[in-house]
Amino acid sequence: MTKAQTTQTATKTMTIPEEEKRLERQLCFAVYSTAHAFTRAYKPILDKVGLTYPQYLVMLVLWERTALPVKTIGEQLDLDSGTLSPLLKRLEQSGLIVRTRDLRDERQVIVSLTAEGDAMRGEVDTIMTSIGQSIGCTLEEMADIREKLQGLRGNLTETR
- The answer on pLDDT for 127 being more than 90 is yes
Q: Among 42, 30, 31, 111, which Cα is nearest to 70's? A: 111
Looking at residue 5, its pLDDT comes to 54
Q: What is the pTM of this model?
A: 0.82
Residue 35 lies in a domain: no
Average confidence (pLDDT) over 105-126? 93
Residue 111 lies in a domain: yes
- pLDDT tens for each residue of 23-71: 999 999 999 999 999 999 999 999 999 999 999 999 999 999 989 999 9
Residue 10 lies in a domain: no
Write out the H or E segment, with its range, that includes residue 81.
Answer: helix 81-93
Number of domains in the chain: 1
3-class state of residue 11 by DSSP = helix
CATH number at residue 77: 1.10.10.10
**What is the extent of the structural domain holding 111?**
42-158
Q: Among 36, 31, 87, 26, which Cα is nearest to 61's? A: 87
Residue 9 lies in a domain: no
Residue 136 Ramachandran class (φ > 0 left, ψ -120 to 50 alpha, else beta): left
Looking at residue 104, its pLDDT comes to 87
Average confidence (pLDDT) over 66-79? 94
Looking at residue 158, its pLDDT comes to 84
Which range has the worst mean pLDDT, 9-18, 80-89, 110-119? Answer: 9-18
